Structure 1
């Protein structure tokens, strides 16, 4: 899974400061990752909110921060505007003599990004040369769509974080999907708040992992004593088909529905998953696992739906209380036995081949939705090691 980024172009070409401010504010509200401005605007952006700020290197004006103290420095300095990168100055016949590339390579410079407007094959070659030294390579174009981006992804995709210039969410989708790998990020140039929000949504969608879920057959259901049970309350609302993956064995995690269904006993809690006992694992973003007991406010957990599509959710609160439990054991399609502890309550629902079912109604022979991977875990990360869990 690649962490993709959305950059918002908000330099002087956008308009006066009020126009730039409106665009930046819309970006902050939508959740963009970076704002790209001219250097004299860095301090102003810092006043609007917390976001990564990239600035073009061509502006040498020293600007103080909001308190009038130290100079406001960008998180990333980008070369190319007003030079060879955007065509203001013709490219030299020998790229080794490029002023932009020389600036980028200076050891005493903070420049880590390169901005290139692709107007010809020569500028495509220039972008490739810049990528060797730039942490981020931002490429924009006028009439080109797929082919130059395909070339750049294939040639420099592993050398740099490639950011493609786009003007709409639909162009962003194309950039994220090109050559299946897609660009690492997009540089969005629009004032439309809806387009900005949709581009951020597409970034989140592109980053999401899709899991291969399978059904495991219930072989044992045992009513046990009480244990410390964990409810995970997230800062997001769950859809009807969403939940989390939890289990006593990291190699086999059970799908447990969020409490989205109405019950005659208690109101729905569509932000909550009653996830099991404190010792159990829960799957987190990036394919790692955590113990339920470790979770706390501000942590991220992985939300998954019954088709295997995932997203991230922020933990708002964790409730640990002593409750009576069931031990549920199931056999995977490959013949492995996995198990977990779930609270003995009608409100806890699991996904079966027949649909949503209360854990209190489970029977031997039912088929439960699980995520299985024949991999050992060490501190939550997959390792090639023989570990016995029982």
Structure 2
């Protein structure tokens, strides 16, 4: 019935065109007072009287209740009812949203009852899914806007990057240049980093600085990413130049397997440093990156081991994200445009 972290759409009325459009966006559940989905494969959550709601799907019906959360008393009532066997609860909060939902999740996360919450915008949907780093099980988005639904789906989806091993073809000093350190507002883990490159279709996995040494302390929030001109992906599918990253910018944190998550840049530091050019190639694409010449800049080998840029040599294999070349217009990919980058 309920997958983890569903987006559920609650339109004003069940218009067949609107339902078809949200179904094509991947929505599988609608919140409505009708029992018709116009032959579309959609689950329905509908009222059945006295604050009770029924979830109708391909499996058995589930029963839940809706609660207007104004105080901890309402949360206690919801917990009491959930413990009595409700399949799901719907929390509707007003001005105070985060603290009431944190309290709700903290109290109900061990109970076998799904937590749904009402939202009015795509930004609220995203926020609800990250509360207490656990999030709710589903968000009911009250909207008649296809764009709002599309934005919510886009914000929720986690991109996956196809990663491959590339052979290093050149490592050489190129003099001084401005490099960018991206200090995120997140703790980055072993194996995570940013995708960065001179070309938007050939991006190197640059590891974070969670690995310290006898000369440096770990900085697990930082990626010494590369020169100011380099590209890095944004969560919306566009690219940014590293020079554009600033406090509040969103960046994409990636692992060697291609899994990704969003992070916020707390700041970026641009400083003049000695630089290296690293070039590499796969069987079909080639590219390069200009990065600082320092031991703390590390690439990732196919086996997950890290290799410092200062120890990198021709013939080494490192992880990259490589795709066929395409043009870019203000960060947006343009498939049919001819482009040659050197």
Alignment TM-score, normalising by the size of structure 2: 0.62
**RMSD of aligned C-alpha atoms?**
3.5
List alignment gaps of at least 5 residues for structure 2: 16-29, 47-52, 66-87, 92-102, 110-114, 116-130, 140-152
Alpha-carbon distance, 1:288 to partner: 1.3
Match of 2:166 in 1: 216
CA distance in 2, matches of 1:165, 1:284: 40
Structure with larger RCO (C-alpha < 8 A, sep 6+)? 2
Matched, 1:192 2:192: no
Q: How many residues in Structure 1 have an aligned counterpart in Structure 2?
A: 242
User: Larger Rg: 1 or 2?
Assistant: 1
Deviation of residue 353 (structure 1)?
2.3
How far does residue 143 in structure 1 lie from its aligned partner after superposition?
5.8
From the superposition, tell whether residues 223 and 326 of structure 1 become closer, same or farther in structure 2 (CA, over 3 Å).
same
Q: Which residue of 1 aligns with 2:54?
A: 142
Distance in 1 of aligned mates of 2:105 and 2:294: 45
Partners of 2:136 and 2:181 in 1: how far apart? 30
Q: Are 2:146 and 1:235 aligned?
A: no
User: Which protein is richer in strand relative to its size?
Assistant: 2
* Aligned partners of 1:139 and 1:165 also within 8 Å: no
1:237 offset after TM fit, Å? 0.8
* Alignment partner, residue 124 of structure 1: 35
Could you tell which deviates more after superposition, 260-269 or 318-327?
A: 260-269
Cα distance in 2 between the residues matched to 1:229 and 1:286: 24
- Distance of 1:329 and 1:147 partners within structure 2: 54
The aligned residue for residue 211 of structure 2 is: 261
Choose the corresponding residue for 2:307, options 357, 360, 364.
357
- Report the structure, 1 or 2, having the larger helix content: 1
1:316 alignment partner in structure 2: 266
Query: CA separation of 1:383/1:263 partners in 2, compared to 1, >3 Å: closer, same or farther?
Result: same
CA offsets, 1:131-151, max 9 Å, x none?
9xxxxx9734536344599xx
Q: Is the 8 A contact 1:6 1:200 kept in 2?
A: no
Select 1:343's aligned residue among 270, 292, 308. 292
Question: Residue in 1 aligned with 2:241?
Answer: 291
Structure 1 outlier segments of 4+, above 4 Å:
4-7, 164-167, 200-206
The 1:346/1:146 distance shift into structure 2, 3 A limit, reads farther
Q: Does 1:388 align with 2:330?
A: no
Once the 2 structures are TM-superposed, how far is the Cα of residue 373 of structure 1 from its aligned partner? 1.2
* Separation in 2, partners of 1:268, 1:287: 30
1:263 CA drift (Å): 1.5
Decide whether the 8 Å contact of 1:299 with 1:315 is kept in 2.
yes
Judge which range, 307-316 or 351-360, deviates more: 351-360
**Aligned-pair distance for 1:124?**
2.7
* Aligned counterparts of 1:166 and 1:352: Cα–Cα separation in 2: 50
Tell me the SS of whatever aligns to 1:312: strand
The question of whether the paired residues in 2 share the 8 Å contact of 1:259 and 1:268 is answered with yes
| TM-score of the superposed pair, with normalisation by structure 1 | 0.55
Question: Which stretches in structure 1 are left out of the alignment for 5+ residues?
Answer: 8-33, 35-53, 55-77, 86-94, 96-113, 118-122, 132-136, 150-163, 168-186
